[in-house]
Amino acid sequence: MRIGIVNDMPLAVEALRRALALEPAYQIAWVAGNGAEAVQACARDLPDVVLMDLLMPVMDGVEATRQIMASTPCAILIVTVDLEQNLRRVFEAMGHGALDVVNTPALGSGQAEAAAQLLRKIQNIGWLVGPRSRRGRKASEPSRPRGAGQRLVAIGASAGGPASLAQLLRQLPPGFPAAVVLVQHVDEVFAAGMADWLASESHLPVRLAREGEPPQPGTILLAGTNNHLRLLRNGELAYTAEPTSHVYRPSIDVFFDSLVEHWKGEAIGVLLTGMGRDGAEGLKRMRGRGFLTIAQDQASCAVYGMPKAAAAIGAATEILALERIAPRLVEAFG
């Protein structure tokens, strides 16, 4: 994998160089001192992964991520210091298409552990996107409602998800009668901060899903650990380490599949922006069960990967622009 480094601090660049040197398969393609240089470097020589700092002169990492994903999209990993102090910037960058976030490894004490965490994130991204090459229509009518019972909206998102989720949740009215469960690819370190941020954008309460609780009408629950979120036979939510084969945790497919197996009421599955294909097969199985399934359209996606995979296999009964998804949910469950 060829990797671009974007950071204005020489010590941070050196720490990243040393960490990457631990993995012979990784090659540094170039180093940029700010976001503007990174945009130019990607246009000139697109790497497999960009390690993007957030706080830089000339152009910060949020704007650089936006411009790169708009013009020369590639996998972007946010690597920066003081993550807890910059959660809003982190979510903004992820809203533009950054895949994940990790602390910058420091030189000296603790370097080995931090370097291992960085390398693990890069490896996960490599598994997700695969080898890089220089790189809607409406399906059949949705099935009829499943009858009386509880209602649930299950939403999966990855790269670009935080901003898309915020926009969707802003459109759900107070008193929305269905439970909502979100599965976003985000490290558990940032899940609580993301829930708080989404709560500030929503008319409905948003919090992390707790082990052993059932989905609740009018409440939005966010998967909050690095384990998968499942619905159990008794209707309660649980976290599980299995299956271990999934690259991203929590997995959207795992949650969708658990709904197919155990949810007894009405449900709608929604797959938003993201790289890779997590959620596509699970959405197809939800459609096969008779649930309404929705995929975000290409024009409104920050990264048209997961919804594209869903559309390609006929998993979505409807393919909608982001701004039309919440009104459709209200229409279906109004």
Q: Which residues are catalytic, by number? A: 158, 185, 278
First to last CA, the chain: 49
Report the alpha-carbon distance of residue 78 to residue 65 in Å, rounded: 9
Long-range contacts of 327-334 (CB under 8 A, 24+ apart): 327/171, 328/294, 329/153, 329/172, 329/176, 329/178, 329/268, 329/270, 330/171, 330/172, 330/173, 330/176, 332/145, 332/268, 332/292, 333/151, 333/153, 333/176, 333/177, 333/178, 333/266, 333/268, 334/177
CA angle 186, 68, 196 (to 5 degrees): 30
Return phi, psi of residue 95, to 5°: -65, -30
The total number of residues written for the chain in this structure:
334
* Tokens representing residue 324 in the block: 């039309």
CA atoms within 13 A on the CB side of 209: 32
